[in-house]
Amino acid sequence: MKTLLYYLLLFLVFMACNNKPTSTEKPHTTPPPKASQKKIIDLSHSYSDETIYWVTSKEFKLDTVFEGQTDKGYYYSANNFSTSEHGGTHIDAPIHFAKNGLTVDEIPLEKLIGPAIKIDIYSTAINNPDYLVSIQDIKAWEKRQGSTIPDGSIVLLQTGFSKYYPDKVKYLGTDKRGEHAVKLLHFPGLSPEAAEWLVKNRNIKSIGIDTPSIDYGQSEYFKSHVILLEENIPVFENLTNLDRLPLNGFEIIALPMKIKGGTGAPLRIVAIVTEDEK
């Protein structure tokens, strides 16, 4: 009985505390209409038997381990997959072209997540598979934006070539494979001069492109790779959907598979774009 009275008292106190005068309260104001909304844009291609690889790299393979109803009555499915580090949408870790560079698991996440800008060279690159993104292209972006590339930016280069993916002839320049096919590669890339200019004059976190390589298809010495990776600037290759990004003011989250000692890895990369609501 004593316990019951205690709980009754507790209940009454609780009710009293909750019994705020509602009549004199101002009616709830509706929150102001949203001025913008965030959109997540996927910049990765899927892995499948269509995934584009370097002509000398082992391609993606998916093997079914099991698929179907088990004898215990539940459904189960699982696969094995194998892939080269460098194929499809992937990251080049600094060690790919720099002896003491970071391996993929060592890249600080700060280099892979953050504010980004896009340099759009679609109109000049799309019809020129040997196009080299120039210092002038970078300066043109800065002139148009009225500012230099902000410190700590992730830079994306839009050539438009991802629209050809996975057509190997159009995207790579050849559907042949093997060492002799390397000379047949044609797709745009970043000129070594522009790579040099970027590392010397700007402070970028990482860089990405919508072609198979940051060096153009006809490159022999992969100088842009060397210049960037020696500065521990990771490179993202085979990006897609760059046409859906603005020229600045968006965020990138690029998370590669954490392969210990890896020189590169499959990469899930997304952009977060703030769009004004109509």
Q: Which residues bind Zn ion (CB under 5 A)?
A: 86, 92, 264
Report the nearest approach of Zn ion to the CB of residue 128 (Å): 22
Per-residue exposure over 125-163, b if at least 16 CB sit within 10 Å of its own CB, e if not:
bbeebebbbbeebbeebeeeeeeebeeebbbbbbbbbbe
DSSP H helices, the chain, are 2-18, 122-125, 135-145, 168-171, 192-201, 223-230
Report the nearest approach of Zn ion to the CB of residue 237 (Å): 5
Closest to Zn ion by CB, 133 or 265: 265
Written as six digits, the tokens of 153 are: 């930016």
Which residues is 250 bridged to in the sheet?
Answer: 116, 273
CB-closest chain residue to Zn ion: 86
Which residues is 252 bridged to in the sheet?
Answer: 114, 271
Please tell me whether residue 113 adopts helix, strand or coil conformation: strand
Closest to Zn ion by CB, 86 or 118: 86
Closest to Zn ion by CB, 153 or 263: 263
Report the nearest approach of Zn ion to the CB of residue 104 (Å): 11
Report the nearest approach of Zn ion to the CB of residue 86 (Å): 4
Please tell me whether residue 194 adopts helix, strand or coil conformation: helix
Report the nearest approach of Zn ion to the CB of residue 34 (Å): 40
Closest to Zn ion by CB, 101 or 264: 264
Closest to Zn ion by CB, 235 or 242: 235
